[in-house]
Amino acid sequence: MKREIIQGSCWDYANAVYNQAGYPNRNGQRITIFKGKKSGPYAAIALIEPGDFLYYINHSNYDVEHSAIFIEWIDIKRNKALMLSYGGEHRKAPARYRLYDLSSVYRIIRAN
């Protein structure tokens, strides 16, 4: 992986991580594990695995949509997980590891 700041949206960052890891969005190199809508239904947490590219409702920031890479469960009973996340808005800042509520995951993408 190159050490660089990827400016753009949260989705742009997560997409670039997958691309640089050798999983571009073509030729079946990514599979959709779950596809819902922003309004639900939401994925069962048992479907989520480390490295998954998730789309979810960010309940800690005005319930906006967010995309990030799942790292691990911190408190699975409360749907709290550690994510690799970029704040978006074309910020000149690196991604960071943050705790998020994953009770409203509406898409799960996985490297294939």
pLDDT tier at 2 (50, 70, 90 boundaries)? low
Share of residues in the chain with pLDDT > 70 (%): 98
Q: What is the mean pLDDT of the chain?
A: 93
Instruction: Look at residue 3 in the predicted model and tell me its pLDDT.
Output: 74
Sign of CA dihedral 54, 22, 91, 94: positive
- Give the pair of three-digit tokens for residue 112: 């294939």
Extended beta strands in the chain, E state: 30-35, 53-58, 64-75, 80-85, 96-101, 105-111
pLDDT in tens, 74-86: 999 999 999 999 9
For 22-59, how does the pLDDT look when each residue is reduced to its tens digit (9 = 90+)?
A: 999 999 999 999 999 999 999 999 999 999 999 999 99
Structural domains of the chain ordered from first start: 10-111 (3.90.1720)
